[in-house]
Structure 1
Amino acid sequence: MKKATLLISITLSFFLITELLYSQKQNYPSKPKDGQTEMVDTRIDNMGYWNRMAEKGLVPVAPVKPYEPAVYTGSQIDAISVAKDDSPDVPVTELTNVTQSENSIFVNPADNEFLLNSNNSTSWSGSSVGTLYGANSFMSDDAGLNWYGSEQGAGGSNWGDPTTAINLDGSRMYVGYIHSNGGQGVSYSTDNGNTWTSVISGIAPGGWGLLDKNHLWIDNSPTSPYEGNIYDAWTAFGGSNDEDIEFVRSTDGGVHWSATPINISSAVSAGSHNQGVNLQAGPDGEVYACWSVYDSWPSDETAIGFAKSTDGGVAFEPATRIISNIRGIRTSETSKTMRVNSFPVMAVDISGGQFNGNMYIVWSNIGVPGINTGNDIDVYIVHSENQGATWSTPVKVNQDPSGQGKEHYFPWITCDPETGILSVIFYDDRNVASNQCEVYCANSFDAGETWEDFKVSDVSFTPAPISGLADNYMGDYLGISARGSYVYPVWTDNRTGQFMTWVSPYITNNLPKPTDLNITLNDETGEVTLIWQFEGTKDFLYFNVYRDGNILGTTTDTTYSDILPDYGVYTYGVTAMYDDGESVPASGSIQWGDAHIAVEPVAISQNLVIDSSIIRIMTIENVGELELIYQISPEITSKKGGKDYCSASGGCDEYISRVILGDIDNVSDCSGYSDYTDLSTMLNMDETYDITVENGQVYSSDDLGIWIDWNQDQDFSDPGENVVCEFDNGGQGTYSFTVPSGAIPGETRMRVRIKWSGSDCGDPCGTTTYGEVEDYSVYVLGWLLVDPLGDTIQAGESQDIQVTLDATDLEEGIYTADLNITSNDPDNPLVTVPVNLIVGEDIPTLVAWADPAEICSGESSQLNADVTGGSGSYTYSWTSDPPGFISDEANPIVTPEDTTTYFVEVYDGLFTIYDTTSVAVAPVPGVCETPTGETQLCQYEQNTTYNTTGAIYALSYIWNLSPEEAGTISGGGTIGIVNWNFEFSGQAFINVTGVNDCGEGEPSEELIITVNPLPEVSLVVYDSVCINTVPFELTGGLPEDGIYTGNGVNNGWFYPEDAGLDWHTITYTYTDANGCENFAQDSIYVGECLGINEIVNGIHFEIFPNPSNGEFAVKFNKSL
């Protein structure tokens, strides 16, 4: 037992503890220590328990403190997944002398406007808590607009942790809670909450024990053989199932419960305990339980446990860890002044719909699950489609961007038992200061694959501990319940200075929506085809199609095509429009293009005289279509061998909970000794760094020591290697150290130790009764510096990387490293560039080069290895990539078929030096695509244009037209222009050939053009007509069925009077079946036709017409 420190017991005046004392973080041991006569179990998360500890003077309570006023932000809901855009917050009571926190809510299956809410309730003086009432009961029968009920505990005072349920026909309501004796209780009501009957469901373990963090559920599936069964579970702190989840059931409406609880969590073998159980029932009577697994304490949640029963809760299959390597927030906490947790919450689809039977689990995680780093706290969901046999990859529920340090916590999920729609509630600070919150909800219509989130609270507020309660308490969870599209989120906030329960009902958008959206992409053209399914209704109008939230168009078909504007990642949505509004979308994403990396050179080799340095340039190029994100991790591969490091460990209690140094940010539990040498960071000589170590269980006499083996001799005893030595300061803090200039470059060991007592930082070796040891790796980059180590390169661009090789103070020898370049290139995610540095006083230097460095296919190049210095006697070894070439000549000749990198190794009897050179092989162009353009022409075309998409490697193009008499073709690019011979008719042929410095490629396939002759056309009309001649049809044109045009011509008829007196040209145009057109012309004269009228020798003569075409009439008579 450690040396005791007197703990003074205090009375209820302790409630008035100064804020200065309270504001300091309080850590209490998980076993009696420092003179305590009773243990404070920091694992327990119950208001009643902590209230009792405060009354005994073992823990402080929240002081009276002015509250921060809330900010009204509006009751509007901006979400397509919600049918109405306004949802004012409603308090469940108007009482001003109570507090309410930690809410549970349940919708009556027989009436989705009837609700049951239970919350932790206390009396309130206006500034502080007085009496603890426990889990109470409030009801609403008008969809949450008005409430009635009692602030007193349902069925009597209790210790809270409320959980609610209503049976299928609505005749029986239930409230579960921690009994005031430390056991478990369930109260039921058969008169809509007017009266309650309390029943003990779990026997208290006795002593310091407690049955904590309970959850209650009811089987309401109409298809279940166990419909109506009630299930209750909790964590037993004490008793035979200590630190495990216990489960009981009732088959008679909560009147009687299992005599002996079942231990359902032991098979996960938690290192510390299991806590935060959540129960659900499946469509066929399955019973499911999930909870948080703690493998040490205190710690964040690290895994989720799961167990199921298929016989109505009679027996459970052995529990499993369905997801490991998560990081909750139990001890890391948030930036808000309130205690938190990351207990998982579950929902099961019993709707009978598309996703019937699916299970869903949500929790809050620091960073991305499995990576678990960063400042974000996000809500994640996993689901199972096979009763928990397998689980999906986690999906983020909150939709604001990651990496902003925002916090989303206390999620609760519900699955609408009629529609299958998922809804989640959580606290959220995306729009406010880091110490403030709003309440958000999110809806999913596709089994949790995609989400729409939105603000649901009318205010932003500042969380704070409830004055007079202990352990920073402001409630441990929120609530949400749904049925028939009615959704009821419920939470606690302090907007009025009083901690109260608020409800903000909304209705999900249940208009029939498109389903099964399938998105296909043509990688060549960027054309996207959308196809979806839809069961139409009579009120349906049309579909809206969106890309990245912007509407593209509308259609009544179940398919749509789009051309992407550029390479990138795009999200599509298709909604259905009705007279009553717009449905939620069927959504999906598509990516066009990728990032692709090219690195030059593929290796770096350098010889340096001692105390000299050089900067080499390495170029990273993005040869893809999307931005390239890369990171360079130098790894020194020339290492010193030797003995193993000494062993060290501790007996825990205080322990290393977090280490931060450069790229290392490791959160851990206590294992006595942990080898984290797979975690590393880079250090530069002569630079100063900060290291932070956090203690998971602080004692004032704890000590901290940190050692780094600068000379890599596998011990920590050399001067300057004890970089941090702090004692009697809690064993934690942030400290600085400087990398000595004499440190040996490469990977070396760092050891961190926390121990108790001794007023020194201890020894790096050996075992201590208390404390812990952890080992890490650091890379000292003395002779190798790389800048930058990471960046983003846009498509088609490149970046030069400075690689500094520094032989200052190095010993003579060979130094090697790898530059490991990771990127988002899906085909080449890791590129390794080896670095070879030879340091000496008289070392040979090598320059390899090729002459010429670029050749055409079939040509040769001479490789050259120019060596100076060294012994003067050299041996050569050439190899290649692609492999296949080997030579021991100094200057070999090569004839590569493809571009090849050549590696030369030269040995002078003492040193081996390296260099590389490349020969680029430029091939002749490939075959062009067949030209495109008009293929049916008529004689007398002046010119036409033809195109080709070109050929790979072509610099220019040769166009060919045959036969020669067809005309000529010009153009050196991808466009050819034909100047046709007017007299030519028949077939012509066009092809195109790519050309570069290495010659011509194969010609393309020929495009055949048919030049059709013009038709032969003739026209004969009258020479002359009289102006008063009746209009007549023109018929002299051949071939028939042509078109007549000219003065006085209308629709094939000639109108002399319209034409007028004079000569007129008539044109006859004829177009044949090939579309070729020709014409003929003739003239016609329109005259007055006055005739000749004379009297000769008493005889009257008339001759008309005059003029005439040779035919005329003669009329005469004798005068009287």
Structure 2
Amino acid sequence: MSRHSFACWTLALLLAMSRPAAGQSDSQAVGFVPHEAPSRHGHVRAVNPGRSRPPETLRVQPYKSVQVNVDANGDNIIDDAANEPSIAVDPVNPQRIVIGWRQFDSILSDFRQAGYAYSHDGGETWTFPGVIQPGVFRSDPCLGVSPDGSRFYYYSLTMDPLFRYWLFTSLDGGVTWGSAVDAYGGDKGWMVVDRTDGPGRGNIYAYSNADDYFVRSLDGGQSFDAPTPPPINTAPQWGTCTIGPDSSVYLFGTAPAETSPTFYSARSSNAWNAAEPPSFELRRTCDLGGRNRNLAAYPNPGGLSGMQWIVCDTSDGPYRGYLYAVSPIYSSGASPPDALDLHFIRSVDRGATWSQPRRINDDRPGDSAWQWFATMSISPGGRLDLAWCDTRGFSEDILHPSASRVYYAWSGDAGSTWSRGVPVSPVFRTPLGYPQGQLKMGDYVHMVSTEDAGHLAYAATFSGQHDVYYVRLGDCNNNGVHDGLDVARGASLDANGDGVPDECGHFMADLNCDGYVSALDVNAFTAAVLDPDGYAATYPGCDILLGDANSDGETNVLDINWFVGLLIGAADTPSKKCSPAALGRVLVGEFAYFARLRRVFQRAADTPS
């Protein structure tokens, strides 16, 4: 069989395999336990103490993921696990970053502790001293920082009979931590620090899924007032909280039922006032176009598909006071239906009314991809940053997807438009490295935004186990300006429209990553389509999605026409870094090969079935 015939038959097989089987559904229910479960095994010390190996270099141009839970030499620790991270960045000196997570010293036990690490060089290197309280069960971390950056806070759940939270404070950038302060609360709590110029500046607020629902600290975390019970019938759960410009506190989450299509928002305008008990005078039911989680066997089978996120614009810009919320959503009424999408709503009147939901992820509707573990943050100037895990291109089993990668998008106009979603991490497999008794990578990831970038802490299995990583998003050329603003102002070119300045990375169709779009990319493109694993082995520093020429989230046969067009257009487009010398080495036979492939698939598309 000739090479051309073999390629055509192989591509035809790929197309056939990509079709869902008859009767296949994405709504098959399985068991789901969203709440934090007590440890069944007790503390087990590391299986391989002192054993480590250098972490891999993890770069998807121009984004570099740096492992956080490393030993004193910066190496990966073997047979431990770390997941469910939360991050805080010093607003005055963003070189100081602290990340906390659930630390499992051994994957042979579900016993977890309050792991933490700090970086004082902007996330380039990390120091992991250990856990805050060795031998004490802790989970559900949430980190924050004071307005002046002098205090980092670590809000942590323990499994006493009351399911209580405790707050730890660091005065040296996360190097050491003080004694625990009782913060009441219950499962899946979330904390926020008021960093506005409002009357509550410096206050700390938190809410959780418990009778001790809402708490506040008016003295910088030294003590907490008695808790406020939840609003009757409209108490948000599994969500987050944010602060408005006037120090109003906003909560957002879902109804208690695990498959509820109901979401709630709540506002307290007096939580900052020490003279009054907090009250939630405004409560609303919100429509996100579906239910908050799909009970099919999704990528995180023992945990949440993600938290519900709310942020507020506290800038002096035109969108000051706007509220934004996002959640992973399963909508059985969507046509065609998707496994899980990211739906976004906003309020322009302090939560009194909310917009209709809109889908943010830009993969093809109905492609059965899962967008999960979303996290949204907002910069001091009002830019929205959104990151999430995504199975697009890897949905070989709709009900049990096993591969994901992290994507990023942003909006500079209050969510009216969004950038293209771009992959910012390598691919990782989710059914790996579970600690005993844990079928999840935690329940969330976390991002915060500075003026120039988003700072994301996420968990992945690049090493075959659960580890925590940091990646800086949105300022690839390190000029202190977000990439989107660079492009909008004309300071940077963006020839392929991916939102990344051209000076930062490879161009679409530059499959061999030599910095040029040329005929030398033909063989690499062929490998990317026919043999993705072989492509990854041959071009280890390249991203296979550089072949996604039609921008549908996958590199496959549907990109052939677009890829050929990019090759042809490169000769006349200097901004695409076309190399005249490389073009002089064009193999006419290779172009003819792709031309024939294009005609074969065009005829197949035009032939009635």
TM-score when normalising by structure 1: 0.37
The 8 Å contact of residues 119 and 136 in structure 1, kept in 2 or not, is answered as yes
TM superposition shift of 1:312: 3.1
Distance in 2 (alpha carbons) for counterparts of 1:51 and 1:132: 5
Match of 1:284 among 223, 246, 250: 246
The 8 Å contact of residues 292 and 343 in structure 1, kept in 2 or not, is answered as no
| Partner residue in 2 for 1:405 | 368
Distance in 1 (alpha carbons) for counterparts of 2:296 and 2:144: 33
Amino-acid identity (%): 23
Distance in 2 (alpha carbons) for counterparts of 1:542 and 1:137: 37
TM superposition shift of 1:213: 0.3
Match of 1:263 among 199, 212, 229: 229
Give the AA of the match of 1:215: W
Taking the TM superposition and a 5 Å limit, the aligned residue runs for 1:863-902 are none
Change (3 A) 1:150 1:579: closer
Change (3 A) 1:420 1:513: farther
2:192 corresponds to 1:217: yes
Distance in 1 (alpha carbons) for counterparts of 2:187 and 2:426: 32
The 8 Å contact of residues 460 and 469 in structure 2, kept in 1 or not, is answered as yes
Taking the TM superposition and a 5 Å limit, the aligned residue runs for 1:1079-1098 are none
Instruction: Give CA-to-partner distance per residue, 1:54-96, whole Å, 9 cap, x none.
Output: 77xxxxxxxxxxxxxxxx997344xxxxxxxx12210013241
Greater helix proportion: 2
Change (3 A) 1:51 1:464: farther
Distance in 1 (alpha carbons) for counterparts of 2:122 and 2:384: 19
CA root-mean-square deviation? 3.4
**Which aligned segments of 4 or more residues in structure 1 are displaced greater than 4 angstroms?**
24-27, 335-338, 370-373, 540-544, 577-581
Change (3 A) 1:455 1:100: farther
Change (3 A) 1:453 1:502: farther
The 8 Å contact of residues 465 and 472 in structure 1, kept in 2 or not, is answered as no
2:355 corresponds to 1:392: yes
2:203 corresponds to 1:229: yes
| Partner residue in 2 for 1:304 | 263
TM superposition shift of 1:317: 1.4
Distance in 2 (alpha carbons) for counterparts of 1:454 and 1:101: 24
The 8 Å contact of residues 288 and 343 in structure 2, kept in 1 or not, is answered as no
Q: Secondary structure at the match of 1:132?
A: coil
Distance in 1 (alpha carbons) for counterparts of 2:318 and 2:493: 22
Match of 1:173 among 152, 156, 170: 152
Match of 2:63 among 87, 91, 110: 87
Distance in 2 (alpha carbons) for counterparts of 1:129 and 1:321: 43
The 8 Å contact of residues 541 and 578 in structure 1, kept in 2 or not, is answered as no
TM superposition shift of 1:425: 1.2
| Partner residue in 2 for 1:831 | none
Distance in 2 (alpha carbons) for counterparts of 1:329 and 1:440: 19
| Partner residue in 1 for 2:130 | 151
TM superposition shift of 1:330: 5.0
Distance in 2 (alpha carbons) for counterparts of 1:372 and 1:232: 38
Distance in 1 (alpha carbons) for counterparts of 2:135 and 2:206: 19
The 8 Å contact of residues 399 and 451 in structure 1, kept in 2 or not, is answered as no
The 8 Å contact of residues 487 and 493 in structure 2, kept in 1 or not, is answered as no
Instruction: Give CA-to-partner distance per residue, 1:811-852, whole Å, 9 cap, x none.
Output: xxxxxxxxxxxxxxxxxxxxxxxxxxxxxxxxxxxxxxxxxx
TM superposition shift of 1:484: 1.9
TM superposition shift of 1:413: 0.3
Distance in 2 (alpha carbons) for counterparts of 1:212 and 1:477: 14
Q: Secondary structure at the match of 1:452?
A: coil
Change (3 A) 1:264 1:317: farther
Distance in 1 (alpha carbons) for counterparts of 2:127 and 2:493: 44
Distance in 2 (alpha carbons) for counterparts of 1:580 and 1:407: 29
Distance in 1 (alpha carbons) for counterparts of 2:230 and 2:335: 28
The 8 Å contact of residues 138 and 148 in structure 1, kept in 2 or not, is answered as yes
Q: Secondary structure at the match of 1:213?
A: coil
| Partner residue in 1 for 2:430 | 463
Change (3 A) 1:453 1:144: farther
Taking the TM superposition and a 5 Å limit, the aligned residue runs for 1:576-595 are none
Taking the TM superposition and a 5 Å limit, the aligned residue runs for 1:510-589 are 511=485
Taking the TM superposition and a 5 Å limit, the aligned residue runs for 1:577-656 are none
Aligned length: 440
Distance in 2 (alpha carbons) for counterparts of 1:335 and 1:103: 17
Change (3 A) 1:141 1:510: farther
Instruction: Give CA-to-partner distance per residue, 1:391-448, whole Å, 9 cap, x none.
Output: 112122211111111111111100012x211111111011224321111111111111
Give the AA of the match of 1:378: D
Give the AA of the match of 2:208: W
| Partner residue in 2 for 1:294 | 256
Give the AA of the match of 2:111: L
| Partner residue in 2 for 1:248 | 215
Change (3 A) 1:443 1:250: same
| Partner residue in 2 for 1:75 | 59
Change (3 A) 1:331 1:111: same
Q: Secondary structure at the match of 1:168?
A: coil
Instruction: Give CA-to-partner distance per residue, 1:314-348, whole Å, 9 cap, x none.
Output: 32215321226621225234256553334311111
Distance in 2 (alpha carbons) for counterparts of 1:465 and 1:25: 22
| Partner residue in 2 for 1:190 | 171
| Partner residue in 2 for 1:478 | 445
TM superposition shift of 1:280: 0.5
Change (3 A) 1:466 1:183: farther
Q: Secondary structure at the match of 1:511?
A: helix
TM superposition shift of 1:486: 2.4
Distance in 2 (alpha carbons) for counterparts of 1:336 and 1:578: 35
The 8 Å contact of residues 366 and 373 in structure 1, kept in 2 or not, is answered as no
Distance in 2 (alpha carbons) for counterparts of 1:377 and 1:73: 30
2:287 corresponds to 1:323: yes
Q: Secondary structure at the match of 2:156?
A: strand
Change (3 A) 1:300 1:123: same
The 8 Å contact of residues 379 and 397 in structure 1, kept in 2 or not, is answered as yes
Distance in 2 (alpha carbons) for counterparts of 1:407 and 1:322: 22
| Partner residue in 2 for 1:33 | none
Give the AA of the match of 1:225: P
Distance in 2 (alpha carbons) for counterparts of 1:435 and 1:579: 34
The 8 Å contact of residues 400 and 430 in structure 1, kept in 2 or not, is answered as yes
Runs of 5+ consecutive residues of structure 2 not aligned to the other structure: 1-27, 43-55, 72-76, 273-277, 476-481, 506-609
Change (3 A) 1:378 1:131: closer
Distance in 2 (alpha carbons) for counterparts of 1:215 and 1:362: 16
Give the AA of the match of 2:431: A
| Partner residue in 2 for 1:140 | 119
Q: Secondary structure at the match of 2:39?
A: helix
Change (3 A) 1:345 1:159: same
The 8 Å contact of residues 87 and 446 in structure 2, kept in 1 or not, is answered as yes
Greater strand proportion: 1
| Partner residue in 1 for 2:17 | none
The 8 Å contact of residues 309 and 326 in structure 2, kept in 1 or not, is answered as yes
Change (3 A) 1:503 1:319: same
Taking the TM superposition and a 5 Å limit, the aligned residue runs for 1:811-850 are none
Runs of 5+ consecutive residues of structure 1 not aligned to the other structure: 1-23, 28-41, 56-71, 78-85, 205-210, 515-535, 551-572, 582-1120
| Partner residue in 2 for 1:1026 | none
The 8 Å contact of residues 492 and 503 in structure 2, kept in 1 or not, is answered as no
Change (3 A) 1:108 1:156: farther
2:414 corresponds to 1:447: yes
The 8 Å contact of residues 411 and 426 in structure 1, kept in 2 or not, is answered as yes
2:39 corresponds to 1:51: yes
Distance in 1 (alpha carbons) for counterparts of 2:92 and 2:35: 34
Distance in 1 (alpha carbons) for counterparts of 2:151 and 2:230: 27
The 8 Å contact of residues 478 and 492 in structure 1, kept in 2 or not, is answered as yes
The 8 Å contact of residues 166 and 181 in structure 2, kept in 1 or not, is answered as yes
Distance in 1 (alpha carbons) for counterparts of 2:29 and 2:486: 53
Instruction: Give CA-to-partner distance per residue, 1:588-616, whole Å, 9 cap, x none.
Output: xxxxxxxxxxxxxxxxxxxxxxxxxxxxx
Instruction: Give CA-to-partner distance per residue, 1:293-327, whole Å, 9 cap, x none.
Output: 134xxx42321111111123532215321226621
Distance in 1 (alpha carbons) for counterparts of 2:504 and 2:131: 44
